[in-house]
């Protein structure tokens, strides 16, 4: 009866190791979320002309971010040389936290190239124990919690490390995406196959999981809105902003023609009585 917790820990570590290796590979391929911003973008940010995205297309509203100069900002599971360097160029004190060393290398590359101060830390987005309570003014969290099996610890840790009055800006997949057969979806066909919440770790055979790694793809997990939205509220946040987004039109994204595929929230940490 004492072996189950160790078995669970082994499974979680295996998922994290798999996804670290996959994202290390993706960082060498020119995948959208691994390409660092260029020096012109950094120069514009220094002049006060900038935006960040947490989903494929729509910029985060300016009023969600406010004045970032001098603020401590955690870019959570946000390696790749994109959000972090822009915020640093805008004057923020930025820490980029990510599971992939090569994704963090992209942030270090921009920092060296454009003389930015950025702290980079490798770790699991569900474990921010390296940071003290009430440490950050703002957390930006692009679509990435689909790579962990349980999102609720991510929200709890984000709440803990934010100061009172701080905000969490988070993007995530619409769970409806995971209803469909993956191979048919890639061929442009919508064939409902899975019950939600979906888990690659549970529904793919070990051989298929290894094939995903060989092909350079991470394991993915859907999360119900009950744990994405409700989980933030349960952690103590108050939801203060919301929008939806999608991919650009593409035959490889057939659901894109019918509904938004991404959700983005702003959640604020208020003082508790």
The reported pLDDT for the residue numbered 1 is: 33
Alpha helices in 135-247 (DSSP H): 152-161, 182-186, 200-203, 206-214, 225-235
- Distance in angstroms (rounded) separating the CA atoms of residues 158 and 136: 9
pLDDT at 159 over 50: yes
User: pLDDT tens digits for 172-207?
Assistant: 999 999 999 988 998 999 999 999 999 998 988 888
Read off the pLDDT of each residue in 15-30 and give the average, rounded to a whole number: 94
**Is 226 exposed, middle or buried (CB count within 10 Å of its CB: 0-12, 13-18, 19+)?**
exposed
**Contact 136/161 with Cβ under 8 angstroms?**
yes
Alpha-carbon span 51 to 61, nearest angstrom: 8
Q: How confident is the model at residue 63 (pLDDT cuts 50, 70, 90)?
A: very high
pLDDT category, 13, cuts 50, 70, 90?
low
Q: What is the pLDDT of residue 220?
A: 95
The predicted structure's pLDDT at residue 147: 97
Give the Å distances, CA to CA, from 194 to 177, 185, 203, 225, 263: 10, 12, 9, 16, 21
3-state secondary structure (DSSP) of residue 142: coil
* Crossing angle of the two packed helices 206-214 and 4-26, in degrees rounded to 10: 30
Distances (CA, A) of 258 to 49, 156, 225, 255: 33, 33, 19, 5
Name 140's bridge partners. Answer: 75, 169
pLDDT in tens, 48-57: 999 999 999 9
Closest CA to 162 of 181, 190, 141, 188: 141
- Model confidence at 4, in pLDDT bands (50, 70, 90)? very low
Separation of alpha carbons 212 and 45, rounded Å? 37
Listed residue (192, 99, 181, 189) closest to 146, CA to CA:
99
- Say which residue, 27 or 271, is predicted with more confidence: 27
> pLDDT tens, 126-146?
999 999 999 999 999 999 999
List pLDDT tens digits, range 221-262. Answer: 999 999 999 999 999 999 999 999 999 988 889 999 999 999
Q: What angle do CA 222, 228, 231 make, to 5 degrees?
A: 130
- Model pLDDT for residues 90-109, shown as the tens digit of each residue: 999 999 999 999 999 999 99
Q: Which domains does the chain have, with CATH numbers?
A: 4-175+223-249+257-268 (3.40.50.150)
DSSP string, 43-57: HHHHTT----BSSSS
Model confidence at 17, pLDDT cuts 50, 70, 90, reads very high
State how far the Cα of 259 lies from the Cα of 136, in Å rounded to an integer: 34
* 241 touches 256 (CB < 8 A): no
> 66 pLDDT band (50/70/90 cuts)?
very high
On the question of pLDDT at 112 being above 80, the answer is yes
* Bridge-based pairing state of the strands 136-141 and 72-76: parallel
Q: Give yes or no for residue 273 having a pLDDT over 60.
A: no
Mean pLDDT of the chain: 93
**Strand duo 136-141 + 238-245: pairing:** unpaired
Q: What is the pLDDT of residue 263?
A: 98
């Amino acid at each position: 009866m004492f072996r189950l917790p160790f078995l669970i820990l082994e499974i979680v570590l295996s998922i994290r190791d798999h996804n670290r290796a996959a994202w290390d590979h993706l960082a060498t391929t020119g995948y959208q979320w691994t390409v660092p911003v260029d020096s012109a973008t950094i120069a514009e940010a220094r002049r006060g002309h900038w935006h960040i995205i947490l989903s494929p297309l729509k910029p985060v509203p300016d009023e969600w971010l406010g004045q970032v100069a001098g603020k401590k900002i955690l870019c959570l599971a946000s390696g790749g040389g994109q959000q972090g360097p822009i915020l640093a160029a805008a004057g923020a004190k930025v820490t980029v936290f990510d599971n992939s060393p090569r994704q963090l290398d992209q942030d270090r590359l921009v920092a060296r190239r454009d003389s930015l101060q950025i702290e980079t830390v490798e770790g699991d987005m569900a474990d921010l124990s390296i940071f003290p309570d009430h440490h950050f003014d703002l957390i930006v969290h692009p679509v990435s919690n689909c790579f962990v099996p349980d999102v609720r610890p991510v929200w709890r840790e984000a709440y803990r490390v934010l100061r009172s009055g701080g905000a969490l800006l988070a993007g995530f997949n619409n769970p409806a995406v995971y209803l469909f057969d993956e191979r048919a979806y890639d061929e442009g066909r919508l064939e409902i196959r899975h019950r939600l919440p979906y888990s690659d770790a549970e529904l793919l055979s070990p051989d298929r999981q290894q094939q995903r790694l060989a092909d350079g793809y991470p394991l993915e997990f859907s999360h119900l809105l009950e744990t994405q939205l409700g989980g933030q509220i349960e952690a103590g946040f108050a939801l203060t902003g919301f929008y939806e987004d999608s991919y650009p039109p593409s035959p490889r994204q057939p659901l894109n023609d019918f509904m938004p595929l991404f959700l983005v929230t702003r959640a604020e940490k208020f003082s508790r009585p």
